[in-house]
Chain A
Amino acid sequence: MSTRLAKHGRLIDRSKQIAFTFNGKSMKGFAGDTLASALLANGQVMMGRSFKYHRPRGVVASGSEEPNALMQLGVGDRYEPNQRATTTELFSGLTAQSQNHWPSLEFDVLAVNNKLSRFLTAGFYYKMFIHPRPLWKHVYEPIIRKSAGLGAAPDKELKDADTYEHFYFFADVLVIGGGVAGLQAAKAAAASGAKVLVLEQNSHWGGRAPVDGGTIDGEAPEVWIEKTLAELKAMDNVTLRDRCMGSGVYDHGYALGYERLTDHAPGQGGPRHRLWRIRASQIVTATGAIERPLSFAGNDVPGVMLAASMRDYVVNWGINPGQKVVVATNNDDAYRTALVLHDAGVEVVRVVDTRETGGGALMEAVREKGIRVELGRAIAKVKDGKCVTEVAICAQNGEGGARETVQADAVAMSGGWSPVVHLWSHCGGKLIWDEVNANFRPDASRPPLGHDGNGFVVPAGAANGEFGLGALLEDAAAAGAKAAEAAGFPAKSVAAAKGESEEEARMEAVWLMPAKADIKLRMKSWLDYQNDVKVSDVQLAAREGYESVEHTKRYTTLGMATDQGKLSNINGLAILADSLNSEIPQVGTTTFRPPYHPISLGAIAGEARAEIFQPVRKTPIYDWFDKNGADWEPVGQWRRPFSINKPGEDRHAAVNREVKNTRENLGLLDASTLGKLVVKGPDAGKFLDMLYTNMMSTLKPGKCRYGLMCTENGFLMDDGVVARIDEDTFLCHTTTGGAERIHGWMEEWLQTEWWDMKVYVANVTEQYAQIAVVGPNARKVLEKLNAAAGGGMDVSKEALPFMEWRDGKIGEFDARAYRISFSGELSYEIAVAASEGQAFWDALMEAGKEFGVMPYGTETLHILRAEKGFIMIGDETDGTVIPQDLGLHWALSKKKEDYLGKRAQQRSHMVDPERWQLVGLETVDGSVLPDGAYAVGEGVNANGQRNMIGRVTSTYHSATLGRGIAMGLVKHGPKRMGEVIEFPGTDGKTYKAKIVDPVFYDKDGEKQNV
């Protein structure tokens, strides 16, 4: 059992005790502990259950590579599953729960899977549950989902209590990693005057060096780290960030930093995470290396740890990992762990070294302490259980026949080191195989390329495959100088700090322990702890023909867990290479993709949540509507009132009331959202003739014309009324939400095709509040306002006829009035300065009282236009509809040689008489047709489905007519007037509707032209 040592623990403050709970049990740790070190201090070696077999699992590593010790942290709206105990800093009141077990960590029903493991091999699910088909959805999937998986998802009713933000930062040199290599590289780069940003994922600087020992410039590494940090902090051109992980490297020097601001101090206030969106000329990856596990049977039993991680727990947090420890290794570094353990008073039972010739000076030092070192030996097996109890030792070069069995409660293993090449590789940096250290390291000759075609990532130190302290610091200094120079800052020569560490004997590549382990052992030798993938699974995949490493990964799920195979990938592909009788470099690695380590979705979303999740566009009259019963609906990013409900009224009743009142009295619509584009210049008319299907150049100043715009494909894209302001100037109305798109469309043609045309366009949509004053009393209310103000614009039929516009005063407001109608009623659309919009609305509401004024919303707007058979972009059109389909031939100029879309409308499919065409639809029983319903015809198509002959594009209850009305596109529609066709609904009913003229109300237009 693990305990806290009386000595060591350079990162903890024993004067500050911290209380926390694990699975409801109160425990105590110290400031500076991680959750993992605090749990070990409390004797909690077992920290979770595995994904598939529910095997007991303990912590294996001490950093972000940890696969096992995943926790559910926090409660309520701060609950989060799958958090690593090793990267969770302890704080007072932390609540952690282990995951993937039921009913408890100690006793788990599904641990029976472990007994069934010989059936649950790679591809098991694919093979077993494919037949019979229906059972998958209803039986197998629910059971599998319950038994396999990680932490429980948060309660869907709760919202994350925290906030997040982004921050954009620009640097000449970004250094990722604050170990001694990162600090050395930063120092070299900063000396050139370059602006340098250094990111360190932990809360402490210096990386492994203080644990691993050696000297830098003749002193302990801590001394150099402190000194260098102080130097860097004093420089104006250097920014240092701890608790900030370099998470990804992307095109053109873009990189993400994930800063954890309050994870260690919840409730402190301010954002929890900050995502740094960094643009750097050059990036130095000083990301260190990760130790590899050894693949022996029972290498996942709680108490088995990576050797260097065990050393971290002793040195950094004063943890005694066990009373009796076996060290298994294929290299010299693990001997450091034996020495540290011995120094801490822990009995090192054996050092099992696979190398027949053993190691160098470090091994001798261990032997001098009286520790037994066994050469050419391996661990045959660690006995299954909730903690290590017994270790069987055998010859490495055998099948696993045990030479001896020793009692132990912890095992330290080391299979060698792999440089963290992830950030080098994210954007395309290539790797080479290092035979000496048996790892992939960056190939400096093939770096990721930037915008100028030159490399923009420089690896440094252990991340570059340099392990001795001396070589590592020299490499890092050179990397920093190289990066600064490439960023345009010729390096001043900065001598690398002089590092010294023990000479190490060459390691031996060991991918399976023992080398000829039998199948029973291989089925207990874990490669990927988190996804429960064993040596035997990868071998099975190879036998079944999965030769590509990418296929094997997906078939076995090797490396697909939340740790993305940081521990398992190299071991797994070595096993695959062996199974395929191939070499490791030939098999290659899977692709490294960002993020390096999972980052929160909150950090990705940044500030975009709640009120500022997305921009909500509001008209100047928004607040009035909000206070007066608006039933909002989104229209693009705008909010528009669907209806304005009176107290106790539902939206349908409100709409019926609004429709009738507008037809009979006076309705007001906030039409401010309509796009308004000023088009000016000597060629403006010619330009608009190309953009609209009809002729705009012949429009007279003072007059308005409805126009259609099509894409080059011929399809309708927008419509609206164009007003000619003067000889050179037009004002084009677009649909709501169309302003920016059509503005962009106009600029595109003007800048990229017709740049010789003298035309300027300006988007003035938001300059105006535009209010539609609609209904038989429309003129009366305007005349009343004018009378009250003692004059103003003449709005009579004679002075301001239909389809004309005037500038002038309406009441006390400077206004432009358009006599246009989208309702079929007498109607004025009046634009005033947006800043005066609310005042103008108030004036109309007040003056309109005696005329029965009521505001109306978008649904009433739709019904009024549908009663008149006016089309709506987005209802009657869907990007495949041409004007001819909608009977809008009158709006297609025959005089013009060309307009956008004209040539396309001559293509064979566009002139096909079989195209569906617009008609009105009247249900036989007066009910409302379902929106989007399809009409069925005779016969079936090639797939045996009933033939379709049309569809509903708009459908409403008309309060004016007291019945359902609709428009739709129907094959040969205009020739089939009076015919009844059938629309099967999704409710099982069939709706019968008669084909009629789409104009349902006031066919002669008498009401609008008064």
Chain B
Amino acid sequence: MSKAVSVLNGARYSGLATVEDAGLQGMITLRGDLGSKALKAAVKAATGAEVPAQGSISVAENGAAAWMSPDELLLLVPYEDAVAKTAEVAEALKGEHALAVNVSDARAFFRLSGEGAREVLGKVSPVDFDAAAFKAGQFRRSRLAQVAGAFWLNGDGSFYIICFRSVGEYVFKLLSAAAHPQSKVGVY
């Protein structure tokens, strides 16, 4: 798949925190009854992860499942497997009302790491990033300044951030500006 290029093509900025293109990531939008056995099994088969609780992400070794809404998950799988796994999930859910669609190429995907990560996100998103309020495994859809975005906090203290592909450059520049080395707020 050498023809495929991620939006920011490996871009990186280091300041208060490090903002980097997290590369091509397989993503599947799955809509259906999150309580159904077949769906749970399909999610497990595709990602290795359980269906997550409201507002969280469940992470397995080779994939993850994030809670998008009461009837929607975002499945994370290796980029090169996304097409096949989308078909597998669709096949597994054939008997029920569900929708699985590959959105891997519709997104830009970032990692935000370092001591200042909470503060940097706190400049662009109206969310409480206090350590007591936003914990590892939490997954939140909100806005990143003027565009919609989603993010979760990894166990290692870094955030993963997802937005639409067309605004990937905007979000990269936005996060880089927020990570200006002389803009430390100093509250987290």
Contact = CB atoms under 8 A, between A and B. Distances in A.
B87 interface: no
Interface stretch (B3-11, B35-43, B52-60, B150-158): B3-11
A768 B101 CA distance: 12
Nearest to B99: A760
A614 interface: yes
Given A813-B3, A835-B5, A836-B3, A612 B174 contact: yes
A766 B185 contact: no
Contact of A165 (B105, B169, B183): B183
Contacts of A607: 123-124, 145, 174, 177-178
Given A607-B124, A612-B170, A680-B99, A766 B6 contact: no
B78 interface: no
A583 B71 CA distance: 63
Interface stretch (A266-274, A327-335, A963-971, A993-1001): A266-274
Interface in A662-689: 678, 680-682
Contacts of B136: none
B92 interface: no
Interface in A831-877: 833-836, 838-840
B102 A767 contact: yes
A277 B126 contact: yes
A620 B180 contact: no
Interface string B77-108: 00000010000000000000111011111110
Contacts of B102: 767
B106 A834 contact: yes
Interface in A535-579: none
| Max count, chain A CB within 10 A of own CB: residue among B6, B133, B185 | B185
B180 A270 contact: yes
A467 interface: no
A615 B99 contact: no
Contact of B146 (A269, A615, A618, A758): A615
Interface string A671-712: 000000010111000000000000000000000000000000
A616 interface: yes
A444 interface: no
Given A766-B106, A767-B105, A615 B4 contact: no
B133 to A, nearest CB: 7
Contact of A833 (B4, B125, B178): B4
A835 B4 contact: yes
Interface string B148-188: 00000000000000001111011001100110111101010
B146 A678 contact: no
Interface string A254-297: 00000000000000111100100101000000000000000000
Contacts of B145: 606-608, 612
B117 interface: no
Interface stretch (A2-10, A167-175, A375-383, A891-899): A167-175
B99 A765 contact: no
Interface in A615-644: 615-620, 638
A762 B130 CA distance: 33
B183 A270 contact: yes
B29 interface: yes
Interface string A819-839: 000000000000001111011
A617 B164 CA distance: 9
| Max count, chain A CB within 10 A of own CB: residue among B98, B173, B174, B183 | B183
Interface string A206-227: 0000000000000000000000
| Max count, chain B CB within 10 A of own CB: residue among A269, A279, A611, A612 | A612
Given A170-B130, A812-B3, A834-B165, A766 B107 contact: yes
A195 interface: yes
B166 A170 contact: no
Contacts of B123: 165-168, 607
A760 B31 contact: yes
Given A239-B187, A678-B101, A611 B173 contact: yes
A607 B124 CA distance: 9
Contact of B101 (A167, A274, A762): A762
Interface band, chain B? 35 or more
B65 interface: no
A764 interface: yes
Contacts of B177: 163, 165, 607, 612
A835 B7 CA distance: 7
Contacts of B45: none
A765 B3 contact: no
Nearest to A836: B3
Contacts of B174: 607, 612
A812 B24 CA distance: 20
Contacts of A839: 3-5
**Prevailing SS type, chain A contact patch:** mixed
A191 B160 CA distance: 36
Contacts of B97: 681-682, 758, 760
Given A165-B183, A168-B125, A170-B133, A616 B170 contact: yes
B122 interface: yes
Contact of B6 (A195, A678, A835): A835
Contacts of A166: 123-124
B123 to A, nearest CB: 5
B115 interface: no
A611 B174 CA distance: 9
Nearest to B97: A758
B34 to A, nearest CB: 13
Nearest to A616: B170
A169 B185 CA distance: 11
| Max count, chain B CB within 10 A of own CB: residue among A611, A767, A813 | A767
A193 to B, nearest CB: 11
| Max count, chain A CB within 10 A of own CB: residue among B6, B32, B147, B178 | B178
Nearest to B146: A615
Contact of B31 (A170, A271, A762): A762
B40 to A, nearest CB: 18
A269 B24 CA distance: 35
Contacts of B173: 611-612
Interface string A654-667: 00000000000000
A607 B178 CA distance: 8
Nearest to A682: B97
Contacts of B119: 167
A836 B101 contact: no
A277 B98 CA distance: 40
Contact of A760 (B24, B98, B170): B98
B103 A169 contact: no
Interface string A583-626: 00000000000000000000000111001101111111000000
A251 to B, nearest CB: 14
A814 B173 CA distance: 32
A833 B178 CA distance: 31
Contacts of B126: 168, 277
Contacts of B183: 165, 270-271, 274
A617 B119 CA distance: 26
Contacts of B147: 615
A764 B105 CA distance: 9
Contacts of B127: 168
Contacts of A611: 173
Contacts of B146: 608, 614-615
Interface string A62-96: 00000000000000000000000000000000000
Contact of A638 (B83, B122, B166): B166
A700 B174 CA distance: 45
B5 A838 contact: yes
Question: Which 6 residue pairs across A and B have the least CB separation, nearest first?
Answer: A270-B182, A617-B166, A835-B4, A839-B3, A766-B106, A834-B105
Interface of A: 163, 165-170, 195, 239, 268-271, 274, 277, 279, 606-608, 611-612, 614-620, 638, 678, 680-682, 758, 760, 762, 764-768, 812-814, 833-836, 838-840
7 contacts: A270-B182, A274-B185, A608-B145, A767-B105, A833-B104, A835-B4, A836-B4
